[in-house]
C-alpha cells in the first residue's frame, strides 16, 4: 500500500504506518473530531508499537462488533472509570518486560472529566508511563447528548434543555496541578502543532495528558463539514486556548488568538446547541479574558508574542 | 517443610508472593491493591515483598485496584488483589469485567459485613455479591487452607480449561487475624507446582480488541462457554489436588469437606469457619449417640450439585447454616442447596452469625435439637447470637 503524501508533505510518510489506527468502515458519525484525531495519531505514531485502552465512550462503539475490530492495534475496552488504571497495569507489565510499547488511553470527556477523574488523578499522581488522550466533544455522546462537566456554559443538551449554567471544568489546569511531565491542549485545526504535540507526547515518559477539542456534529448540532472550522473559530476567539505545560510549571502558549469578536459570533451561530440559552459573544467575553489573564500570568508572556496565526 | 506462625491474611499474601515469583521467567507479576479492614494486612504484606519482575501498584480505590489487575493480566502477567465488604462492592463493576475478559486474576477476601451501618465483622454477604458473575469461589476454614487455596486458585484460574478469575474467601478476623501454624513450601517447590502464566488472549503484537461490543447471540455463546469452563473446574481441581499432594506431600482440602456425613441422618451444611464449629458439634452429638454429620461447602462456584445430591441422598434432616442473609428470601447457601435433598427431607435455613455474631457449639446444638422435633421445613430462621 502506497501512502500518499499527507498534510502538505509534512508527515514522514516513509515511516508511516501501513494501516490506519482507525480503519475505514468504522461507525463514527461524519465529521467526528475523534476520527481526525486518529488520523493524526497514526501519522505521529509512525512505526511505534502501541497498545490502546478505551473506556466506555464513542471510541468503544466505533471499535465495532466482535470478532472484527476497527482498530489496527491491540486494544482493551475498559469500564467507564477505568482507562487510567487498566493502562497502569498494561504499562507496568510492559515495563517489567522491557518493552518499548506506548500505552495510549483514548477517552471521552465523560470518562475523563467526570466518572474517571479519580482514577485519572491517581495514575497521574503515580506518574504512570501512559499517554492519556481526552477527545472532548463536550457532551455524553454515546447516550444521546447529556451534559458533562466539559459542556460549556450556554450549551443545550438533553439534560440541560434550557442551556447549561455552569462553566466548563479547567482540565488542563487540573492535570497540570499534578506536575506531570506533559500536558497540552490540541486544536485539530492546527495540524503542525497537533502533530508535534502527539509526537512529543508519544516519545516522552511518565504521565502525559492531551486535551483535544473534538467537534461533534451530532451533539453540537452543526454541519459535519464545518468541524475543523469550528475548532479554528474557537481558537481564534480565544475560547479554546492552545498551550502546553511542562512538569506542571512551564506554560507555553502555542497559538496566539486574535480574540476576534466575529470568530466567537460565528462559533456560536454555527452550532444550534447555543441557540436557546441566550449565550452571546458579549456574555462569554469576560470569562475568556479572565482565563487569558491567568494564562499570561502562568506563561510569563504578558504581551502577545505573535499575531495573525 | 518449614512451619511459620502467621495470620491468614499473611498466608494469602505469602502464597501470592510465591506464585508471583514463580512467574518471573514469563510475563511477571503485577497487582493493584487498596486497603480495607480486615483485608489490609494482606496488601500490606504484599507491599513489603521484593518480587523479581513484580510490581505492586498502590491504587486509589478498589475499583482501580481491579482495573490495574485487569491491565496486568490482559498483558499476560500473574495478578492478585485483596479486598472485602464495601471495597468488594465498590470493585464489583471491574470484577464483572475481569470475568468477562476471562482473566485468571486471584483475589483474597476476608469476608466482612456490608455497611452502612458500619460493621467490620465476618459475614459472607460481600463475596456472595459475586455469586453470579463468573468468578470461582473457594471458602477456607483455617490458615493452612487459606495458603493452599490461594496457590491452588492460581493453578485453577490459569488452567486453559477454566481460564477465569478466582475468589479465595476467609472469615474476617476469625481467620484473617488469627495467627496459627502454616506449612510454607520453598520457592523451588512452588515453581514446580505452578507453571508460568499463559493468557492466550492477552494483548500481544496482533491487533485484536478485548471486551468489545457483541450482539446478543455472541454474548449468549460467551456466557455458555464461560459456564461450561466453570463446570470444568471440578475435574481440574481434582487434578490440582493430586499434583499438590505429589509435590508438597499433603493434600489440599476437598471442594466439599464431609465430616462423619456418610451414615448421618442429620446433616449440617455450612461454609467457612462455621464448618469447623459444626464438626466439633458433630463429635459432641455423636458421643451422645445422635446420628449427625457435617458438610462444608468449600467450592461454592462452581456449585457441585451432583456431588451434593449424592451426599444428601437418604438424609432426613439438613440444617443449612448461612453466615449471610438474602433479605426477603433466606440463607443464600440454603437457597442453592435445598433442591438437592430428597423430596421428603426437611431442609431448614438457619442464618446464624450474620454480621459477625460469635457462633458457639451450644448455638448449633440448640438449633439441631429444635430441628429434631420438626416434622417439616419451616420458614428461614435468623438465629441471633451475640
- The chain A residue lying nearest B203, using CA atoms, is A74
Q: Same domain for B82 and B210?
A: yes
Residue B211: list chain A partners with CB under 8 A.
76-78
Q: Could you read off the pLDDT of A158-211 as tens digits, one per residue? A: 999 999 999 999 999 999 999 999 999 999 999 999 999 999 999 999 999 999
Q: Same domain for B135 and B71?
A: yes
Compare CB distances from A64 to B32, B59, B212 and report the shortest one's residue: B212
**What is the rounded distance in angstroms from the CA atom of residue B353 to the CA atom of residue B359?**
6
CATH of the domain at B112: 3.40.50.970
Q: Looking at B196, B231, B248, which one is the last position of a domain? A: B248
CA distance A103 to chain B (A): 11
**What is the rounded distance in angstroms from the CA atom of residue B128 to the CA atom of residue B326?**
10
Pairs of residues, one from chain A and one from chain B, whose beta carbons lie less than 8 Å apart: 161
Q: Looking at B219, B248, B277, which one is the last position of a domain? A: B248
Residue A119: list chain B partners with CB under 8 A.
60-61, 63-64, 67
Q: Same domain for B353 and B241?
A: no
Residue A87: list chain B partners with CB under 8 A.
71
Q: Could you read off the pLDDT of A278-301 as tens digits, one per residue? A: 999 999 999 999 999 999 999 987
Residue B212: list chain A partners with CB under 8 A.
60, 63-66, 69, 75, 77
For residue A2, the model assigns a pLDDT of 42
Higher local confidence (pLDDT), A280 or A309: A280
Q: Same domain for B273 and B311?
A: yes
Averaged pLDDT score across all residues of chain A: 93
Q: What percent of chain A has pLDDT over 70?
A: 92
Q: Same domain for B220 and B364?
A: no
Q: Same domain for B227 and B266?
A: no
Mean pLDDT, residues A76-99: 98
CA distance B125 to chain A (A): 24
* Interface-testing mutation among B56, B57, B203, with chain A (most A C-beta atoms within 10 A): B203
Contact A63 B209 (CB under 8 A): yes
Determine the angle formed by the axes of helices B361-372 and B274-287, rounding to 10 degrees: 60
Q: Same domain for B210 and B270?
A: no
For residue A8, the model assigns a pLDDT of 56
Q: Same domain for B261 and B210?
A: no
Q: Same domain for B263 and B237?
A: no
The cell numbers describing A251, all together, are 506554560
Give me the residue spans of the domains in chain A: 7-299
For residue A301, the model assigns a pLDDT of 76
Q: Same domain for B155 and B92?
A: yes
Predicted TM-score (pTM) of the model is: 0.96
Q: Could you read off the pLDDT of A100-135 as tens digits, one per residue? A: 999 999 999 999 999 999 999 999 999 999 999 999
**pLDDT averaged over 10-residue windows placed end to end, chain B, 386 residues:** 95 98 98 98 98 98 98 98 98 98 98 97 98 98 98 98 98 98 98 97 94 96 98 98 97 98 97 98 97 98 98 97 98 97 96 97 96 93 91
Residue found by looking up cell 467537534 in the block: A215
Neighbours of B229 (CB within 10 A): 20
CA distance B201 to chain A (A): 11
| Domain A7-299: top CATH class | alpha beta
Q: Which domain holds residue B370?
A: 256-383
CA distance B197 to chain A (A): 13
Q: Looking at B248, B268, B295, which one is the last position of a domain? A: B248
Q: Kindly indicate the confidence band of residue A306, based on its pLDDT and cuts at 50, 70 and 90.
A: low
CATH of the domain at B362: 3.40.50.920
Compare CB distances from B75 to A64, A84, A93 and report the shortest one's residue: A93
Q: How many domains does chain B have?
A: 2
Q: Same domain for B72 and B211?
A: yes
Q: Same domain for B232 and B273?
A: no
**What is the rounded distance in angstroms from the CA atom of residue B279 to the CA atom of residue B295?**
9
Q: How many degrees, rounded to 5, is the angle at CA A255 between CA A251 and CA A258?
A: 125
Amino acid at each position: 500500500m502506497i501512502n500518499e503524501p499527507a498534510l502538505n508533505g509534512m508527515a514522514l510518510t516513509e515511516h508511516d504506518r501501513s494501516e490506519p489506527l482507525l480503519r475505514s468502515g468504522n461507525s463514527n458519525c461524519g465529521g467526528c473530531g475523534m476520527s481526525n484525531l486518529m488520523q493524526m495519531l497514526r501519522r505521529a505514531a509512525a512505526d511505534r508499537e502501541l497498545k490502546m485502552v478505551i473506556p466506555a465512550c464513542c471510541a468503544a462503539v466505533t471499535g465495532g462488533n466482535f470478532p472484527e475490530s476497527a482498530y489496527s492495534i491491540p486494544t482493551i475496552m475498559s469500564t467507564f472509570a477505568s482507562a487510567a488504571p487498566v493502562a497502569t497495569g498494561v504499562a507496568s507489565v510492559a515495563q517489567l518486560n522491557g518493552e518499548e510499547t506506548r500505552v495510549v488511553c483514548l477517552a471521552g470527556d465523560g470518562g475523563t472529566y467526570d466518572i474517571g477523574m479519580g482514577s485519572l488523578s491517581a495514575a497521574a499522581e503515580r506518574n504512570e508511563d501512559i499517554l492519556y488522550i481526552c477527545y472532548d466533544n463536550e457532551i455524553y455522546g454515546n447516550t444521546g447528548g447529556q451534559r458533562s462537566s466539559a459542556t460549556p456554559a450556554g450549551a443545550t443538551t438533553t439534560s440541560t434543555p434550557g442551556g447549561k449554567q455552569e462553566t466548563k471544568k479547567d482540565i488542563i489546569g487540573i492535570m497540570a496541578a499534578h506536575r506531570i511531565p506533559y500536558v497540552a491542549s490540541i486544536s485539530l485545526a492546527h495540524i503542525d502543532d497537533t502533530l508535534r504535540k502527539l509526537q512529543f507526547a508519544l516519545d516522552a515518559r511518565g504521565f502525559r495528558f492531551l486535551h483535544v477539542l473534538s467537534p461533534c456534529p451530532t451533539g453540537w448540532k452543526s454541519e459535519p463539514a464545518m468541524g475543523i472550522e469550528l475548532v479554528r473559530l474557537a481558537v481564534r476567539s480565544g475560547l479554546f486556548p492552545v498551550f502546553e505545560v511542562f512538569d506542571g510549571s512551564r506554560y507555553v502558549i502555542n497559538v496566539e488568538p486574535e480574540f476576534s469578536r466575529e470568530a466567537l459570533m460565528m462559533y456560536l451561530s454555527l452550532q444550534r446547541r447555543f441557540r436557546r440559552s441566550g449565550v452571546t459573544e458579549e456574555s462569554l467575553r469576560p470569562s475568556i479574558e479572565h482565563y487569558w489573564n491567568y494564562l499570561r500570568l502562568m506563561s510569563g508572556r504578558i504581551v502577545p508574542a505573535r499575531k495573525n496565526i | 517443610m518449614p512451619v511459620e506462625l502467621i495470620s491468614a491474611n499473611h498466608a494469602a499474601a505469602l502464597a501470592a508472593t510465591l506464585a508471583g515469583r514463580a512467574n518471573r521467567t514469563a510475563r511477571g507479576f503485577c497487582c493493584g491493591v487498596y486497603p480495607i479492614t480486615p483485608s489490609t494486612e494482606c496488601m500490606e504484606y504484599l507491599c513489603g515483598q521484593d518480587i523479581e519482575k513484580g510490581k505492586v501498584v498502590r491504587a486509589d480505590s478498589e475499583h482501580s485496584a481491579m482495573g490495574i489487575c485487569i491491565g496486568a493480566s490482559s498483558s499476560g502477567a500473574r495478578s492478585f488483589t485483596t479486598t472485602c465488604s464495601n471495597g468488594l462492592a465498590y470493585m464489583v463493576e471491574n470484577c464483572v469485567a475481569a470475568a468477562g475478559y476471562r482473566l485468571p486474576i486471584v483475589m483474597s477476601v476476608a469476608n466482612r459485613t456490608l455497611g452502612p451501618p458500619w460493621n467490620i465483622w465476618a459475614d459472607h454477604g460481600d463475596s456472595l455479591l459475586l455469586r453470579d458473575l463468573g468468578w470461582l469461589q473457594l471458602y477456607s476454614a483455617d490458615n493452612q487452607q487459606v495458603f493452599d487455596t490461594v496457590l491452588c486458585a492460581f493453578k485453577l484460574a490459569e488452567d486453559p480449561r477454566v481460564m477465569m478469575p478466582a475468589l479465595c474467601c476467609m472469615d474476617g478476623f476469625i481467620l484473617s487475624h488469627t495467627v496459627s501454624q502454616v506449612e510454607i513450601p520453598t520457592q523451588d517447590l512452588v515453581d514446580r507446582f505452578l507453571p508460568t502464566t499463559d493468557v492466550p488472549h492477552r494483548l500481544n503484537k496482533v491487533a485484536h480488541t478485548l471486551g468489545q461490543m457483541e450482539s446478543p447471540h455472541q454474548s449468549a455463546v460467551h456466557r455458555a462457554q464461560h459456564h461450561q469452563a466453570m463446570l470444568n473446574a471440578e475435574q481440574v481441581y481434582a487434578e490440582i489436588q493430586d499434583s499438590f499432594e505429589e509435590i508438597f506431600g499433603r493434600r489440599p482440602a476437598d471442594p466439599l469437606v464431609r465430616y462423619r456425613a456418610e451414615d448421618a441422618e442429620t446433616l449440617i451444611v455450612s461454609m467457612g469457619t462455621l464448618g469447623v464449629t459444626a464438626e466439633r458439634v458433630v463429635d459432641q452429638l455423636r458421643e451422645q449417640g445422635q446420628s449427625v454429620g457435617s458438610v462444608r461447602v468449600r467450592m461454592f462456584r462452581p456449585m457441585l450439585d451432583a456431588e451434593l445430591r449424592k451426599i444428601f441422598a437418604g438424609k432426613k434432616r439438613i440444617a443449612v447454616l448461612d453466615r449471610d442473609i438474602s433479605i426477603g428470601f433466606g440463607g443464600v447457601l440454603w437457597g442453592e442447596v435445598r433442591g438437592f435433598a430428597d423430596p421428603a427431607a426437611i431442609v431448614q435455613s438457619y442464618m446464624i452469625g450474620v454480621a459477625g455474631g460469635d457462633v458457639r457449639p451450644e448455638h448449633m446444638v440448640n438449633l439441631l435439637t429444635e430441628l429434631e422435633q420438626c416434622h417439616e421445613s419451616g420458614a428461614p430462621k435468623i438465629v441471633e447470637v451475640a
